[in-house]
Amino acid sequence: MAVEKKDRKEPEITCTRSTPFRVSGLDTMIDSGGNPLPTTPVMLLCRCGLSRRKPHCDGSHRENGINGAKAHDRIPDRRTDYRGRDITVHDNRGVCSHDRSCVLDLPAVFRKNRRPWIDPDAADPKEIEATVRKCPSGALRTSRHGKPERDPQRPPAIRLARNGPLEITGSIKFRDDADSRPESPEHYCLCRCGNSRNQPFCDGSHRTTRFRDDAPDE
């Protein structure tokens, strides 16, 4: 058994700007409810939003293509630091997938439609850290006294957010032909609807484009 584990390749996700996500070496893929989904040594996962075999690719992109280029007018990829007495919250709106776990968990800290939208003094630092750990895209990070909190150490897995992105955890290596790099190598979100302006990563566009996991009507 030890030999098999040593010889086994690490999970990896690859793509080009016009091809689906090629996933290799992954054992764990789950749906939004945590239920296991079958995996194979190599899988092609849809990123155009049109497949009738979601999450798998069925070749639908061949008709309409995949626009895997980043939009020039997308939200800027830059970090803003919100400094409190005991904790600093770092936020990069340019890579946010808008899953809303932060505003639902700690609305006193993550204040929707207010400026500044993050108040790091409105809750205990441990509570803030626990909420930030739920951020699937890596847009939110924390540090204390200049020392960043470490990323969680999780086994490699892909979770299909309901009508949303592929949520990657466990430091799965990602490679594409544009040298795209996730905000956090341990966790990031990949676009499934085909409309993100931050390709190949999710920017929340699925919320307004009526992307659905079920097959479109005939």
DSSP H or E segment with residue 7: helix 2-7
On whether both 84 and 143 belong to a single domain, the answer is: yes
DSSP state letter for 115: S
On whether both 161 and 58 belong to a single domain, the answer is: yes
Alpha carbon distance 181, 179 (integer Å): 6
Dihedral Cα 130, 172, 97, 160, nearest 10 deg: -100
Cα 42 from chain centre: 20
On whether both 61 and 118 belong to a single domain, the answer is: no
In a domain, 75, yes or no: no
At 3 the pLDDT is: 42
On whether both 136 and 117 belong to a single domain, the answer is: yes
On whether both 64 and 105 belong to a single domain, the answer is: no
User: What sign has the CA pseudo-torsion 117, 69, 189, 145?
Assistant: negative
Structure tokens at 161: 């957010």
Query: CATH no. for residue 140?
Result: 3.30.70.20
Is residue 127 within 8 A of residue 108, CB to CB? The reply is no
On whether both 159 and 62 belong to a single domain, the answer is: yes
In a domain, 188, yes or no: yes
Q: pTM of the full predicted structure?
A: 0.92
In a domain, 3, yes or no: no
At 215 the pLDDT is: 54
Alpha carbon distance 47, 215 (integer Å): 14
Structure tokens at 119: 């108040």
Domain boundary among 100, 116, 148: 148
Domain boundary among 148, 164, 182: 148
In a domain, 185, yes or no: yes
Is residue 65 within 8 A of residue 47, CB to CB? The reply is no
On whether both 86 and 100 belong to a single domain, the answer is: yes
At 214 the pLDDT is: 79
Question: Can you list the residues of the chain whose pLDDT is less than 70?
Answer: 1-8, 215-218
Q: In which domain, by residue range, is 61 found?
A: 8-70+154-207
Domain boundary among 118, 148, 178: 148
At 75 the pLDDT is: 92
DSSP H or E segment with residue 130: helix 125-132
Number of compact structural domains in the chain: 2
Model confidence pLDDT, tens digit, residues 44-85: 999 999 999 999 999 999 998 999 999 999 999 999 999 999
In a domain, 28, yes or no: yes
The vertex-22 CA angle with 77 and 57, nearest 5°, equals: 100
On whether both 141 and 163 belong to a single domain, the answer is: no
On whether both 91 and 36 belong to a single domain, the answer is: no
At 7 the pLDDT is: 59
In a domain, 17, yes or no: yes
On whether both 99 and 143 belong to a single domain, the answer is: yes
Please state, as a whole number, how many other Cβ atoms lie within 10 Å of the Cβ of residue 152: 11
Alpha carbon distance 15, 44 (integer Å): 10
Comparing CA positions, the residue from 101, 77, 108, 103 lying closest to residue 91 is 77
